[in-house]
Amino acid sequence: MARLKAVYRCQECGQDQPKWAGQCPGCGAWNSLVEEAVEARAGAAAASGTRAPRPLTDFSSEAVPLSQVSGAEEKRRPTGLPEFDRLLGGGLVAGQVCLLAGPPGIGKSTLMLQVAECLAARGRVLYVTGEESPAQVSGRAKRLKVAGDAILLMAETDLTKIVAALEVHKPAAVVLDSIQTVYHPELSGGPGTVGQVRECAAELLRAVKKSGAVLFILGHVTKEGSVAGPKVLEHLVDTVLQFDAEMRQDLRVLRSEKNRFGPADELGFFEMSEAGLRGVADAASFFIEDRGGAVAGRAISVALEGSRPILAEVQALVTPTRYPLPRRMATGLDLNRVLVLLAALEKHLHLRLETRDVYVSVAGGLRLRDPALDLAICLAVASSAREEALPADWVFVGEVGLLGRLGRVGSLGGRLKEAARAGFKSALLPARSVDDLGRAPLSVKAADDLAAAAAAAFANSTPLREDS
């Protein structure tokens, strides 16, 4: 390994400093100096600022025409956990580096221990723990009933010793728990700093790419993602998986934010139990509450996360306020988008909301950004304001524009199939999407704009008060 040293580089102008400072002396930017690892040069080369020339034949790989490079299709190795394999695109590829990020205590170590057990059936797995003692990991394995005959457990934080263990044991898969505890002995700075995290990950990446082993790196992030460690690793690794912490206590959502060997933006649902994490069988309709009874302010839509359609229940509460500035709150949705939709409701449906508080949320704690939820949000707010319940067996899918027009929705066939499987009878859709739909698995209602959609929905609504 090359000898390294730490410098502090400004992220605005690129100037290096030997020590950290609050303000960059070069460009004057505040809090822009970030620790980085650089190769330390000694002797005359360091004094002159030049590097000794390399021989012209000293290349990591030869430059050859692209047409002469063999491009064999990557063979995937399923882990045996269906939800996990679906996020990865069907399985793991040799040399793949996965970053599993999430807040402490959400279940990263539990998931990786279960994955290690599945991978151990096909090869040796090296589990490196820097946070817990071997006895603690063994206790968790017994609770999860994980057979550890082919899992090698190693409690180590020194990077050089971890790389040496890879060369000695030659495992098929490596789990590092966690990257914030590992340190490079030739780099100043404590474990978990930006320079340490980046350089340790780069060394491990080079080692596993050479051997073909699969590497899982665990990293902690806060709810706001303020820890720099996993963020600076995203461009190094092949796959970034992140646990969602804004779920109810027994449910975990695993998101695929980056995947070089498969689709990104996929979702996997797991339930936490005494026996560990298990995949949710019917994840598409898991977040829909009991549909019995007429309830104002409730609308069902079908969101698309990656390639998975998810039935989402949008709930709205519109209530009078005594304050001059009414409140607007959104949970699981983009607040700015909700504010735009409320303005569209006031403009095109003449709905008076200036003296009312409006609260909108997605049931179950989901965080969704699909614009196809716009129509359900608008109708849920209108339903709560008018005290009229929307039809319980309808789904509402469509994007609402500033002019009140309903825009096209992608992958509409898969959304409607999932809604029909869950027992819904009708769907209110944009007229533009209905023209391209073909045969639908349920009854389809079309609308060109928000006013027409509201007329169709409330024509079948249930008034909940006599003066509605």
pLDDT digits (tens, 9 = 90+) for 137-150: 999 999 998 877 88
The mean pLDDT value of the chain amounts to: 84
* pLDDT (0 to 100) of residue 71: 60
Instruction: Determine the Cα–Cα distance for residues 99 and 87; give it in Å rounded to an integer.
Output: 13
Q: Please give the model's pTM, rounded to 2 decimal places.
A: 0.74
pLDDT value at position 198? 83
Please write the tens of the pLDDT for every residue from 214-239. 999 998 775 555 444 556 788 889 99
What is the C-alpha separation between 154 and 166, in angstroms, rounded?
A: 11
The pLDDT, as a whole number, for residue 48 is 46
Q: What is the mean pLDDT of residues 154-179?
A: 93
Structural Rg of the chain based on CA atoms:
27
Contact partners, residue 6, CB within 8 Å, separation at least 6: 35, 36, 37, 38, 187, 188, 189, 195
Determine the Cα–Cα distance for residues 431 and 409; give it in Å rounded to an integer: 10
Could you tell me the pLDDT band of residue 72, with boundaries at 50, 70 and 90? low
Confidence of residue 248 (pLDDT cuts 50, 70, 90): low
Between CA 36 and CA 39 the distance in angstroms is 10
Over residues 169-189, mean pLDDT? 88
- Do residues 99 and 88 touch, judged by C-beta distance below 8 A? no
Of residues 199 and 345, more confidence is placed in 345
Beta bridge partners of 272: 277
Q: How confident is the model at residue 293 (pLDDT cuts 50, 70, 90)?
A: low
Q: Output 462 or 331, whichever has higher pLDDT.
A: 331
Which pLDDT value is given to residue 186? 84
Does the structure show a pLDDT above 60 at 276? yes
- Per cent of the chain over pLDDT 70 is 85
What pLDDT is stored for residue 243 in this prediction? 83
What is the average pLDDT across 380-404?
Answer: 93
Cα 80 from Cα 146, distance rounded (Å): 14
pLDDT in tens, 310-331: 899 999 999 999 888 999 999 9
